[in-house]
Each structure stands twice: as C-alpha cells, then as structure tokens.
Structure 1
Amino acid sequence: MPFLLDSFSDVKKELKKKMKKESSGLLPFLSENDKQCIHLIREQTRQLNQNNVTRTQAYFQFYLQHPEIHWALLGHMVSRNVGWNMTDLKGELLTKLLPEKDQKAIFFFLERGSWLIFQDVFPQFLVYDLSLRRGRDMFHLLPFLHTSTFMETMWRYFWRSGDSYTLAIGTVINEQSYLEKRLIQNTHFQNTVTGTVSFKMYDFLRLNNILFPYCLGEKREKASLTGATSRYFTSLHERILFGKELYSLLFQRERILEGVLKWTLEHPHTGSRKDYWPDLFNDVKESSPRSIYKRRVKNCELRKGAERLYSPPLKYAWPNIPHEDATSGDWYEDWHVLDYIHKEVSLDGEILSNYCKTLETIELAVMAKEAILFREEE
C-alpha cells in the first residue's frame, strides 16, 4: 500500500526515501482492466499529440474540465506561444532573416520539445481523470506510463491535499527536468540548433517573449498583453524559475486570470498571431513577395498605409511530423528540487514595450540584410 502523503513534510520524506532507493523497485501487479486503461491512455495521448494546435487545445479542454489542475492552463498558454514561434519561422520577417535549413531545424526543436512534454504530462492528467471517475487513487498506473517517481509522489500528495499550487510547480519542475537530457543536452540539437549562429540571433532578437493576451471586459479588437521574456533558455534552473514566474502571473492575479480565460474562450488557437492582434497581423499575405521591405511597425501600431505582417496559421506553415519514441529513464535524483516549490519569484508582467521593441529590431535586421544583399548584387 502506498505511503499516505498528508503534508508537504510527508512528500519530502517520501522523496528522500526514493532518492536512497529504499523503496521497492518492483512494479505493482496490473489487472486486465488496468492494462486496458493504459492502452486507452496511450492511444488518446497519441491522437491529441499530432501538432501544436491539437495539443494546445487538449490542455485547455482539460483545464475547463478540471480547473484545479492549474498547470493545464499554464501549459495551454505557453503552448500557444510555442505555436506563434513556429509560425513566425514562416512569417513575414523571419523568412527574410533565417535560411530555410535553420527555419526547419528550429521548428523541429520547438516541435520535439512540445511533443515530449505532452506525451509525458497528458497521460498523468488522464490517470487523474480516471481516478476521479473511479472514485479512488489510480496512480499505481503512472510507472507503466514512464512517469517520474517525483510526479507519482506529487500526484498522491495532491489527491489527499488538493494543493493545486504545489502540484503545478511540481509539474513545472518535472517537465523542465524531463526535457533537460532529451532536448537541451541532446547532441543533435546542440549541433543543429542551440549552438548555431541563427539560434544565437534568435536569442539576441528577443524572440523568446511569452505573451498572455487577455480581455479587460470591453469589446475591442486588440487584446491587452502581459507576460515575460525568457533568458538563459539552456539553463534548467532559469527555466524552472521562469515557469514559476509565469504561473504567478497567471494564477496570483485574479483580473489577469479572468481576462486570459475570457480571451482564450473567444479565440481558438490557430498558430497565427492574428489570433490576438488582427490589426497588426494577418493570416493572408498582403505585401508583394518581391518588394523591398520597409518599416511597418511603430509602438506596435501599423505605420500609415503599411500592410499588416503575415502570420500564417500552423496548418499552412508546417506539416505534422512523426516522432521517435522518447528515451526512457527517470530524471529524479535529488529531493532538493523541492526547494523550488517555496522559492520566491517576482514578475511585474510588463511585456508590451519589450515586445514592440522586438518587432522593430527584427524589422531593422531584415532591412540591414536586404541592404547588404542589394550591395552585393551591384
């Protein structure tokens, strides 16, 4: 029988024990019914993990059914941003800056990371949903879905405590730790993406803004924005803290949470930035493909007479791609990762001026590149 986790100190004791490998390494016996549940969970996850749009929507639908699972909404909003970053690679500006080979490499890096997270976290959500429907803890299924022993402990604690905050931050810790060896430290991606000039430029141009559009109540075309800029993407420590900051921004300000939910319900995710700013972006190309680029944006407004920036829907930008199975293995080694749960973070949520400067900086980079090419052709 699993250890009863009634308090956070119980969680710490359990994780210390697991770190020392004192607990039995034997997996529990599975009934035929359990085996069928695992098969259905895997199949449902596979069907919903087709592309950024399907997984983004799946997170949101799950949150609407289970608003106590805060990470589902956080995951949905971050996944929207990943989709926008993917379509930017085929949008108005980055197609003029990045070689096609680098566009594809960065897309696959973003897609692989998103796919990995979904195939790890969504089965956990489905086991929780199954537990509610059965009226009993079904978390003995988690090891068969390759879930970290860290998260099995966090789910058992949540089942008894209802502590949504601790489960959400635990999930942030888990997902970023899960990605570390499979994506960030993966030699292939270091050679083709994170170690390349294009990725460093991508970082330099501050394309790592995470935006949370929200409605203030009145009817308006252009959503308000809050959010933050990710720095030191390759640092696990910084990514976990950044996830905590985004969680705080979303769930510790009631006005923001209400506004984000209102906007999200009214705007299904397509991957196009037109979803939140249709007066600045369009999912149809308005400019001539051969025209020399001229500045169109000032303070996040179109200059007089300028065409909107092209931002395609995901389905027209990138095809669905097959993925190799994730490598197995549990990242959990040290109970001190629990320190992140209570680590203080602060975030003001001011993103608009930063985002506006990002757009203008990219425009200048495009114009500079075109000027160099024009001189070379003379």
Structure 2
Amino acid sequence: MTSLNEESLPIVERKLLKQIRSTTAEHNLNNVTRTKAYLDFYKQQPEIHWAFLGHMVSRNGGWNMTDLKGEFLTRLLSKKERDTFFAFLERGNWLIFQDAFPQFLLYQESLKWNKPFFHLFPYLNISTFMETIWNNFWKSHDTYVLTMGLVINEQSYLEKRVIQNPQYKKEVLDTFEFKLHELFSFNQILFPYGNKKLAGQTLQQFGSLNERILLGKRLYSILFKERDFLNDVYQWAFQHPHTGSRKDYWPHIFNNVNEGIPGFSYQLRLKSCQLRKGARKLYSPSLENVWKNVTHREAEKGDWFEDWQIADYLKDDQESYNGEIKNEYCKTLERLELAALAKKAISILD
C-alpha cells in the first residue's frame, strides 16, 4: 500500500480512526471476546450476514483451541505441539478480527452520518478490494456479494500472513496436517441448534485458499438460505454464551470440569455418540481458564489483492447443502478416543 498521511485528514475522520482502533483492540483480547463482539454487532446490524457467520466459525476456533487442553489431544500431542498449534489458531483468529471488525465499525459510522466512510479503509490497512465491495453494498444492499467479499478477503488476508508463513508452514501445517486432517475434529465446522442438534461442513484441505473460500460459500448457504434454520441457530447462539468449552452445545457428553481420576488408565467412554453407562464426561475446558491472553505483534502490512479474477467467487452458485454432519462428527470423536487409547497403550509398551 502507498504511504498515507493521516494528519491530512479532517479532524473528525482522524478521531474516528482512533476510536475504531481503540474499540477493536478492546474486543480483540481473546477468542471469547472476539466471538461475542461479532454476535453483538450482528444483533445491531442483522443485514451484515458475515458477522453471524464469523461468530459461528469463531466459536469453532475457540473449541479447537480448548481441545488442545482437553480430553484427547493432551494424550496425543506433546506440550510443544499443542502450544505451537494454539499460537497458529490464535494468530489467525486475532488477524481476522483486527481486519474485519474495523470494517463493521466504519459501516456503523457511515449509517450514523448517512454517508460512506469506506475511503478510510487504507488507513486501517484494509484491502482496496473491500473498499470496492462495501461501496457496492452501500448502493445495492446485496448481502450475498458483501458476505462473499468478506469471505474472500479474510481468507486471502490469512493466506500470506499465516498459511504461507514459513514458521507456521513448517511447524504447524506440514507437521499437523497428517495428524489432524481427517482423524481429528479441527476441520469440522459445527453449527449447533435446537436440542443437541448439529449442522455444518468439513474442510478437506486447510492449506488451500480455494477450499477455504468454497467452504465459506457452503457454510453461508447452510446458515442463511433457510430463515427457520437461521433463526434456530441464532436462538441457540443467543441462549448459549460462548465459553470455548464444547459443553456449550453437548453438555450430556462434555464437561468444563475434569472428571477424570489421576493415575487411572483411560477407559472407552463413547458409543454411538452417547456416554457408556457410568462413564465420566469428556473434559472440554473453558478457554479463559486454560489459555492466557496473547500480546500479538502488529499485523503484517500489505494488500493481498492483486487479481480481479478472485471476484469470480462472488457469484452465487445457487447450490443447496443439507449440512448433515452429526454422524461424521460422532465418528471423529470415536476415532479420537481410540487414538488416545492406542497412544496410551503404545507408551506403556515402550
């Protein structure tokens, strides 16, 4: 991006930028505060669909973070591996929020003043791609194009800063891809609703920008194509504040208190997505009890946008997806449990 002189802006706009940076930083402390901020914004501006999609995906990010301190992954991964993977997840979660949330705040200010402030995006290191998308939304109110624009933007923003980052590529993606790709639950995005029901999708290749954008399109289709389903998920989210524990959606299987007895060998507890008779619940802690807030280095500068062909993703393919994921997720949990049991058996033999 070209060098910008903020001092040349009118004082009202300079104050606005300062206020937006401060408000964003205030909510960008950890996954729980970010996830809540997305939902709070969506309550105020339900026309910004990505805010709710982002809220639900961010919930999954929090569950992935606490899994690293939970029942199975503490047995399957070393402390160094778990700390490294947390740093990877946390950096991505932090980066997306500090890019997306200022856009939302500027939109709110635009509504308040009844004029668009999107020309201020470059001063917040937001891509020129999104300046065009928001200006289009201001005139057309096309929620689909705005949502897809945000999906494209956030995943492209992550691509160079996290996915292609040499350190994360070596220490996380190349190392963990094999362990976590199909066996573990990191690639499953869950939308809880109703009474213990789940919908969602599975990401096949986390390292692929194309696959992540297509996943965003599928998730949006599942969440927003049917008003009744959207209302069900929204009601669930509203009634269950995000803690990072999987107890939030399945309290019959997970507990944020560790019911395990130290020194006792692990016993199989799951069968067909139910606890076996007399079995203790699986440990899934609250995020703020197991991970400290991270002080992040400043986001890397630069605009990811180089080629307008990426705008092809803005087209609505009109496809519908049923979102059935419960059986697949149940199998994931059972594979995780067997892997944890096998790891314990192998370590005993060693």
* CA shift digits 1:124-143 (9 cap, x unpaired): 00000000111111112111
Aligned to 1:334: 307
TM-score relative to the length of structure 1: 0.89
**3-state DSSP of counterpart to 1:41:** helix
2:54 to 70, 75, 81: 75
Equivalence map 1:1-378=2 (5 Å): 29-196=8-175, 198-207=176-185, 208-215=187-194, 222-342=195-315, 344=317, 345-376=319-350
Shift of 1:289: 2.3
- Structure 1 gaps, min length 5: 1-20, 216-221
Shift of 1:338: 1.2
Shift of 1:26: 7.6
- Which residue identity is paired with 1:229? T
* CA shift digits 1:176-200 (9 cap, x unpaired): 000000000000101211111x442
Is the contact between residue 184 and residue 336 of structure 2 (CA under 8 Å) also seen in structure 1?
no
- Which residue identity is paired with 1:375? L
**3-state DSSP of counterpart to 1:195:** helix
**3-state DSSP of counterpart to 1:204:** coil
Is the contact between residue 144 and residue 316 of structure 2 (CA under 8 Å) also seen in structure 1?
no
After superposition, the Cα gap between the structure-2 partners of 1:137 and 1:302, relative to the gap in structure 1 and judged at 3 Å, is: same
**What is the alpha-carbon distance in structure 1 between the residues aligned to residue 4 and residue 19 of structure 2?**
23
Is the contact between residue 274 and residue 283 of structure 1 (CA under 8 Å) also seen in structure 2?
yes
Is the contact between residue 206 and residue 229 of structure 1 (CA under 8 Å) also seen in structure 2?
no
Q: How many residue pairs align between the two structures?
A: 347
What fraction of aligned residue pairs are identical, expressed as a percent? 54
Aligned CA RMSD, in angstroms, stands at: 1.6
* CA shift digits 1:302-348 (9 cap, x unpaired): 11110000100001110001100011111111111111111525422
* CA shift digits 1:77-117 (9 cap, x unpaired): 00000000000000011101110000000111000000000
TM-score relative to the length of structure 2: 0.96
After superposition, the Cα gap between the structure-2 partners of 1:26 and 1:286, relative to the gap in structure 1 and judged at 3 Å, is: closer
Shift of 1:255: 2.2
* CA shift digits 1:32-60 (9 cap, x unpaired): 11111101100110110000000000000
| Deviant stretches of 4+, over 3 Å | 24-29
**3-state DSSP of counterpart to 1:212:** strand
Aligned to 1:17: none
Is the contact between residue 27 and residue 143 of structure 1 (CA under 8 Å) also seen in structure 2?
no
- Which residue identity is paired with 2:301? S
Larger Rg: 1
Is the contact between residue 196 and residue 250 of structure 2 (CA under 8 Å) also seen in structure 1?
yes
